[in-house]
Amino acid sequence: MANRKIAPGAEIDGFKVGELIHSGGMARLWSVTRPDIDFPILMKVPLIGEGDDPAAIVSFEMEQMILPRLEGPHVPRFVANGDFAVQPYIVMEVLPGKSLYPMIETLPRPPAEVAALGAKIAMALADLHRQHVVHLDLKPSNIMFRDNGDVVLIDYGLARHNDLPDLMDEEFRLPYGTAPYMAPEQVLGNRSDYRSDLFALGVLLYFFVTGIRPFGDPQRLKGLKRRLWRDPVPPRGIDRHIPPALQEIILRCLEVNPLWRYPTAAQLAVDLQYLSQVKLTARAEKMRQDPLSTVLRRRFNPEPIEMAKPKESKNQLSSAPIVAVAIDLKDSAADLADLLRLTTSRIIEKTPNARIACINVLKINRISLDATLDEEGNNIHVQRLVELKAWAAPLGLAEGAITYHVIEAIKPADAILEYARENYVDHIVMGARAASTMRTLLGSVSGEVAANAPCTVTVVRNRARPGE
């Protein structure tokens, strides 16, 4: 991977770089032009340096996968992607307006205005959900507007496309999102429910009409989980002038169990547009939080929440297995890597619907700090990602049929086994190096995986030459 320093005047894949528009914690936005494009565009470039979170790299990969598949007025117009091997980037249209974020300074807003705004956001979500995407990071800074008032949802780094592999879910065990807006099921690890976005919209509506975040801004997992049993103060308990119908909508969005929320964003949009027609329940007149006895019952005897990953039929599972290929990228293992690729291609021939997950374990130290950059200043995680893609290129698989995972771990065998268990892997393929006295005494990674894997394991070994 080239370690390129972007500056005004530089040219990248035909795009001429202009001024720096924004510098955030995970990416920079540059204005760019190209002669054949007649509308304003910008280039989003991830920050990949010393000490950066590997999740930021995977998040950018996810956005590169998802954004080109989206269309319509409620998403940014996609132009181009840049390869991690040269320079990762996303080029998209420039949206003329500002985000919703500056409005935070003027909260609370009038209920009628909040309802109208919420209806526009809900319509944008409905369009996104029809395209099989859960946003999972809905918040004011990710909501923008077109000149005609249409809402545009931006930043798909944490999103889940339900027709694509979910790299964030497969590689990381901690929930990712923006703390005040995360739905209970998202906190618990479920990233596939469209109604998680409705919960986030309910948080936003509550915040904009009261000026207070319903669940605060917890920074630890323990604080995030509190929303599973402790309900917020009802909006009308803060301001009695908030219409009962708007409270009904907000509290329905904030239900812990997704089944009790609106079934679709489209139905939510209708209620927000026609408050007078909203069917009121006990939620509408509630003025106080639930009593302590109810909270304790929820805390220690909670209602079940459907936490399983999307269920697939047995036929689907058998016809579309996940095959995890553990690849050693060291130069000394080049012959073994070739043999692994040959074995993988034979598996693909026999099972054309299989999804191949290419895994490399980046071993880290238990105590001392690890450098995240190599001697040339390249991010080691990204370099491994590029090498995995180069290894897999001869297989000729389409996007979605193959994924790439660089997993940082102390013990490679444990990392491979955890990936296999958490992602319902059907078959692990890995190499075994030549035997040695040390490996005989300490055991091999392949031996440990084969002994403990929850699925079939194929261990590939170079044929011993005569005399070896």
Residue pLDDT, tens place only, 129-155: 999 999 999 999 999 999 999 999 999
Note whether 149 and 120 are within 8 A (CB): yes
Mean pLDDT check: name the lowest of 183-192, 196-205, 409-418, 459-468.
459-468
Tell me the C-alpha to C-alpha distance, in Å, between residue 200 and each of 116, 261, 316, 344, 435.
16, 12, 32, 42, 54
Residue 312: what pLDDT? 36
d(CA 96, CA 83): 27
Residue 170: what pLDDT? 83
* Domains of the chain: residue spans and CATH: 11-93 (3.30.200.20), 101-300 (1.10.510.10), 314-460 (3.40.50.620)
CB atoms within 10 A of CB 55: 17
Over 50: is that where the pLDDT of 220 sits? yes
The Cα angle at residue 183 between residues 22 and 419, in degrees rounded to 5 = 85
d(CA 418, CA 69): 30
State the pTM of this model.
0.80
CA 270 to chain CA centroid, nearest Å? 29
Q: At what angle do helices 244-253 and 265-273 cross, to 10 degrees?
A: 170
Residue pLDDT, tens place only, 84-141: 888 999 999 999 888 999 999 999 999 999 999 999 999 999 999 999 999 999 999 9
CB atoms within 10 A of CB 287: 12
Note whether 73 and 81 are within 8 A (CB): no
Residue 409: what pLDDT? 87
Q: Cα torsion for 273, 76, 130, 155, to the nearest 10°?
A: -90
d(CA 356, CA 402): 5
79-95 burial: b if 16+ Cβ within 10 Å, else e = bbbbebeebbbbbbbeb
Structure tokens at 68: 């080109």
Note whether 355 and 323 are within 8 A (CB): yes
Note whether 413 and 363 are within 8 A (CB): no
Q: Is 411 exposed, middle or buried (0-12, 13-18, 19+ CB in 10 A)?
A: middle
DSSP 131: T
User: How far apart, in Å, do the first and last CA atoms of the chain sit?
Assistant: 37
d(CA 280, CA 245): 6
Residue bearing tokens 């995240």: 372
Average pLDDT rounded to a whole number, residues 183-199: 94
DSSP-derived 3-state class of residue 421: helix
Residue 468: what pLDDT? 47
Q: Cα torsion for 200, 206, 209, 212, to the nearest 10°?
A: -110
Strand pairing category for 427-431 and 15-23: unpaired
Note whether 209 and 239 are within 8 A (CB): yes
Note whether 400 and 163 are within 8 A (CB): yes
395-407 burial: b if 16+ Cβ within 10 Å, else e = eebeeebbbbbbb
Mean pLDDT check: name the lowest of 348-352, 372-376, 404-408.
372-376
Note whether 221 and 174 are within 8 A (CB): yes
Q: At what angle do helices 380-392 and 54-66 cross, to 10 degrees?
A: 40
Average pLDDT rounded to a whole number, residues 344-352: 89
Instruction: Quote the percentage of the chain above a pLDDT of 90.
Output: 60
Residue 108: what pLDDT? 98
